[in-house]
Chain A
Amino acid sequence: MTIKIKDDKPFLRDTSKMLWDGEPAAAEVRDISPHVSFAQITSDVVNSLENPRPIYWWAIAICVFMIGVGVACEFYQYRTGLGVSNKSNTNVWGVYIASFVFWVGVSHAGTLLSALLHLTHSDWRKSVFRYAEAMTTFALMTAGLFVLVHLGRLWQVYYVMPYPNERGVWSNFQSPLVWDMFVIGAYLTCSSIFLYTGMIPDLAVFRDNIHDGWRKKLYTFLAMGWQGTDRHWRNFRVAYLTLSVYLIILAVSGHSVVSSDFAMSQQPGFHITSFPPYFVVGALYSGNAALITVFIILRFMFRYEQYLNMDVLRKLVRLTFALAMIWTYLHLIEMATVWYGHDTAARDQLYFKATGAYAGWWWLFNFLAIVCPWVMAFRRWQTNLPVQMVLSLLLNVGMWLERWMIIAPTLGHSHYPWTFDFDQWPSFVQWGILFGSFGWFSLLILIFCKVFPAVSMYELKELAYARKMEAHHAPVGEPATKGAH
C-alpha cells in the first residue's frame, strides 16, 4: 500500500489550510472534528459559561426547591428525633444508607473516565472527563451528607473521627464503619485535588479571557500563575499521571471498603465474598448511567453539541452496556453462590427477597438493571438522546433500588424471628431527604458548570490537534478518522 503524505504544514488557526483537497469530513466525525481550531474551543467554552440556555435558571430553581424539601425534612427529623423516619430497631439503615452507597457509586464513574481511561490513552474521554470528575467530588459530598443524616444526632459526628471522645475512648479502628470514614474521606479529598489540579491550565485560560469581576480574581488565584511553559507542562504531565494512578486504586478500594460494611457482618444476605467486586462494578455501572444523564443535560444547556457529540455518547453508552453485563454476571454469581451454598439463612433471605414483602421492588430492580440495559446494545438507540435520557434515569432508579434491596429486606429478615420486620416502609422524611439530595447534587453540578470549564479545553485542543495530524497523515483513499483510540 502506498502511503502518500500531503503537505506537512500544520496550522492552528486556519484548519482549512492543512486539509488536503479531499477533506476528512468524508468520513464520520469521531470524537472531535478536525476542523475545530484552538481559538474556537476557547471561545466556545468561555461563551458557554456566559450564555447558558434559559432552562439553566429553571433547573437551578427546581434544584433549590428540591433542596428546600430535603432541608425541611431533615430539620423536622432533627427537632423531633430519628423516629419520624420510620426506622425500626432491626431496620436501622433504610433509605439513608442505601442512598449513601448509591452516591458513592455514582462517584466512581468520574474516576473511571478521568483516571483509568487516561492511563489507557482513550482519547474520547477528553470531552467528558471534567464534568465526570466534578460528579465524583459532588457525589461524594452528597454521600457524606447521608452519613450525617443517618446519625440523627449530628453533634456527635466526631465519634467516627480518629479522635478520642470526651471519655477518652478512641474510635474502634477494627470497625468497617471507621474504615469507611478513612477511605471515603481520602477519596473525597483526593478526588477534589485531582479535579482542581487537572483544571489549572484551563483556569489560566479563563483568567486571561475574563477581564473583571470576582471571577477574574478567583481564576487568577486558582490558576497559580500558570503560563503554559515547557517546565509547567512537563511536570504537570507526570503529576497528573501519578494522581490518576492514586485515584484508580482509591476508587476500587473505596467501594470495596463500603462493601465491607456489609460483607464483614454475619447478617444473612450481607456475608458474601463477591461483594467487593460486585459493589465496584455496580458503582461504575450506575455512575456511567448518571454520566449519560448529565451528558445530555449539559450538551443542551451549555450548547456543547460540538464537543459532547454523538460519537462520544455512543462510546459512553457502549461502556455502560459492557459494565451492565459484568455487573449482571456478578449479580447472578452472588445469587448462585447463596442458592447452592449451605447457609440456609442466606438462602431463606434470597427466597424472601424474591417472594416476600419486597418482592415487587426486587423484581423491578432486576428488570431495570438487567433487562433495560439491553436497549443500549442496539446501535440505532445508542445515540438517540430521548431514549438514552430515559434509559439512563431508569438504570439509576434500578441501581438505587438494588442498594435498597440489599439493605431493607436483609435487615428485616435476619437470623432470629424476633428481629423480623417485614412492614418497614420509609416515611416521607426519608423520601424527602433523598429527593433533596438529588437537588443538592444537581445544583452543585450546575453551579460548577457555570463557573468552571465543564469540558477540558486543553485536552480538547490536544485531541483536535491529534485528529488534524491523523487527517493530515492519513493514507490516500483511507478514511482519516480510522485509527488509534
Chain B
Amino acid sequence: MSKRHLLALFDSFDEAGEAILELRKAKFKGFNTDHDMIIKSPIEHPEFERVLGPKPVHVQWFPLFGSLVFSTFLFILVSGAQANFFEQLKGGKPIVPIPINLVPTYALFMIGGVFFTVLGLFVCAGLPARRVPLYTSRVLDDQIGVLVKADEATLPAIKAIFTKHKAVEFQEEVGK
C-alpha cells in the first residue's frame, strides 16, 4: 500500500507531546514512530526527547577526531621544519623544543575541534537538507509540526489522534 505524508500543526508543546505519546502507544501497522515521524518546532524543546524516546547524538566524537588530527599534523609540521633547518642558530637550545611547540599545536587542536564540530553537526543533522514534503514556515515561527508518513489506510486514525489533541491545521499529500 502506498504511503503518504500528513503534517499536523499544534499551538501547544504539551498537546503535540501528548499526541506523539498516543501515536507511539497505538502501534499502527506499518508505522514506526522512530522512522516515520518528524517533529518540527521553532525552539529546541528537550521535553520532546522524553516522548520520542532516547536517540543517540554522535556529534561529540567529531571534535575529538578533528582536534587530534589537526594538532598531530601541526606538531609534526613544526617539529619537522625545525629538525630540517640547522642553519638557524640555536645557542645551545634544543633543535625541537617540545614545550614551545605545544603552543601552535594547541591552536590547531582548537581549530580542528571547531571545524569538525561543525562538520559533525552537518553530518549528524543531515545538513544541508532538502525540504521534506509539506513544509510550512510556521514551524519555525510559532507552531509545532508533527510530520508522519504512513499507509493511506492508517492516516485517518492518525489524524483522529491529532484532532483529539487539538491540532489546529492539517496538510496532507495529495494521493496518486
The reply to whether A190 and B103 contact each other, CB–CB distance below 8 Å, is no
A272-299 interface bits toward B, Cβ cutoff 8 Å, 1 = contact, 0 = none: 0000000000000000000000000000
B20-56 interface mask toward A, CB cutoff 8 Å, 1 = contact, 0 = none?
A: 0000000000000000001111111110110010010
Q: Are A236 and B121 in contact (CB under 8 A)?
A: yes
Do residues B140 and A208 form an inter-chain contact, with CB atoms below 8 A?
yes
User: In the complex the two chains form, is A242's CB within 8 Å of B81's CB?
Assistant: no
Are the C-beta atoms of A462 and B43 separated by less than 8 Å?
A: yes
Q: Nearest A residue to B48 by beta-carbon distance?
A: A230
B173: interface (CB < 8 Å): no
Tell me whether B160 is interfacial, beta carbon within 8 Å.
Answer: no
B82 within 8 A of A: yes
Nearest CB in chain B: distance from A148 CB, A:
20
Q: In the docked arrangement, what's the CA distance between A328 and B117, Å?
A: 37
Instruction: Say yes or no for B14: interface residue by CB 8 A criterion.
Output: yes
Decide if A250 is an interface residue (CB 8 Å cutoff).
yes
State the CA gap A365–B10 with chains docked (Å): 57
Q: How far is the CB of B123 from chain A (nearest CB, A)?
A: 9
If A173-B104, A242-B63, A458-B43 touch, whether A37 touches B131 (CB-CB below 8 Å) is no
**A225 near B124: Cβ-Cβ < 8 Å:** no
- Distance A182 CA – B112 CA, assembled complex (angstroms): 13
Set of chain A residues within 8 Å of B41, measured between Cβ atoms: 228, 230, 233
Q: When the two chains form their complex, are residues A227 and B142 in contact, meaning their CB atoms are under 8 A apart?
A: no
Q: Please tell me if the beta carbons of A239 and B117 are within 8 angstroms of each other in the complex.
A: yes
B140:A228 contact, CB within 8 angstroms: yes
Instruction: Report A246-280 residues with CB < 8 Å from chain B CB.
Output: 246-247, 249-250, 253, 257
Is A227 in contact with B85, judged by CB distance below 8 angstroms?
Answer: no
**The residue from A12, A42, A189 contacting B12, defined by CB atoms under 8 A apart:** A12
> Are A186 and B141 interface neighbours, CB within 8 A?
no
| A358 in the interface (beta carbon within 8 A) | no
Chain A residue at smallest Cβ distance from B113: A246
Task: Give the complex CA separation of A238 and B58 in angstroms.
Answer: 9
A234, CB-defined interface residue at 8 Å? yes
| A235-B124, A238-B59, A246-B110 given; A170·B81 CB < 8 A | yes
Contact status B44-A253, CB under 8 Å? no
Q: Quick check: is B92 within 8 A (CB to CB) of the other chain?
A: no
Instruction: Summarize A's interface: helix, strand, loop or mixed.
Output: helix
Residues in A whose Cβ lies below 8 Å from that of B143: 12
Known: A38-B142, A209-B137, A227-B135. A461 touches B42 (CB 8 A): yes
With an 8 A cutoff between CB atoms, is B175 at the interface?
no
Task: Give Cα A66 to B76, complex, Å.
Answer: 45
A:168-202 near B, CB below 8 Å: 168-170, 172-174, 178-179, 182-183, 185-186, 189-190, 193-194, 197, 200-201
Q: How many A-B residue pairs have CB under 8 A?
A: 180
**Residue B118 at the chain A interface, CB threshold 8 Å:** yes
Q: How far is the CA of A287 from the CA of B81 in the complex (A)?
A: 38
Report the separation of the CA atoms of residues A169 and B88 in the bound assembly, to the nearest whole angstrom: 8
Residues of chain A within 8 A of B52, CB atoms compared: 230
Q: Contacting A458 at CB < 8 Å: which of B42, B88, B111, B125?
A: B42
* Set A182, A185, A208, A231: member contacting B125, Cβ < 8 A: A231
Is B78 in the interface zone, CB < 8 Å from A? yes
User: Using Cβ atoms and an 8 Å threshold, which residues of chain A touch B63?
Assistant: 242, 246
- Residue A205 at the B interface, CB < 8 A? yes
Chain B residues within 8 Å of A356, by CB: none
Cβ A243 vs Cβ B139 within 8 A: no
Known: A182-B103, A190-B114. A231 touches B12 (CB 8 A): no
Cβ contacts A448-478/B at 8 Å (1 or 0 each):
0000000000100110010000000000000
> Does B104 contact A182, Cβ atoms closer than 8 Å?
yes
B125: min CB distance to chain A, Å: 4
Bound complex: CA A340 to CA B97 (Å) = 34
A204 to B88, CA, bound (A): 53
A189→B60 CA distance, assembly (Å): 20
B77 → chain A, closest Cβ, in Å? 7
Enumerate chain B residues within 8 angstroms of A56, measured Cβ to Cβ.
none
Residues of B within 8 A of A465 (CB): 43
When C-beta atoms are compared, the residue in chain A nearest to B96 turns out to be A173
> A179's contact among B45, B57, B104, by CB below 8 Å, is which?
B104
Q: A12-B142, A182-B108 are in contact. Are A242 and B38 (CB under 8 A)?
A: no
A82 to chain B, nearest CB (A): 26
Q: Which of A1-33 contact B (CB under 8 A)?
A: 8-13
Decide if A81 is an interface residue (CB 8 Å cutoff).
no
A189 and B118 CA atoms in complex are apart in Å by 12
Q: Is the pair B14, A10 in contact by a Cβ cutoff of 8 Å? A: yes
Q: With a CB–CB cut-off of 8 A, which chain B residues contact A237?
A: 44, 46
Hey, which chain B residues are within 8 Å of A243, CB to CB? Answer: 114, 117-118
Determine the residue in chain A with the shortest Cβ distance to B37: A230
A237 to B121 alpha-carbon distance, docked (Å): 9
Instruction: Determine whether the beta carbon of B129 is less than 8 Å from that of A186.
Output: no
Contact of B42 among A38, A172, A185 (CB under 8 A): A38
Contact among A178, A238, A458 for B104, CB-based, below 8 A: A178
Whether A257 contacts B103 by the Cβ 8 Å rule is yes
CB 8 Å contact bits of B142-171 with A (1 = contact, 0 = none): 110000000000000000000000000000
Report chain A residues within 8 Å CB of B135: 227
* Interface pair A242/B60, CB less than 8 Å apart: yes
Using a CB–CB cutoff of 8 Å, the interface residues on chain A facing chain B are: 8-13, 37-39, 42, 162, 164, 168-170, 172-174, 178-179, 182-183, 185-186, 189-190, 193-194, 197, 200-201, 204-205, 208-209, 224-239, 242-243, 246-247, 249-250, 253, 257, 458, 461-462, 465
What are 7 inter-chain pairs, A to B, with CB distance below 8 A? A183-B103, A225-B129, A230-B48, A230-B55, A239-B59, A246-B113, A458-B42
The chain B residues found within 8 Å of chain A, CB to CB, are 11-14, 38-46, 48-49, 52, 55, 57, 59-60, 63, 77-78, 81-82, 85, 87-88, 97, 100-101, 103-104, 106-108, 110-111, 113-115, 117-118, 120-122, 124-132, 135, 137, 139-143
9 further contact pairs, Cβ within 8 A, besides A9-B14, A228-B139, A235-B125 = A170-B85, A173-B101, A179-B107, A225-B131, A227-B132, A230-B48, A231-B126, A234-B57, A235-B57
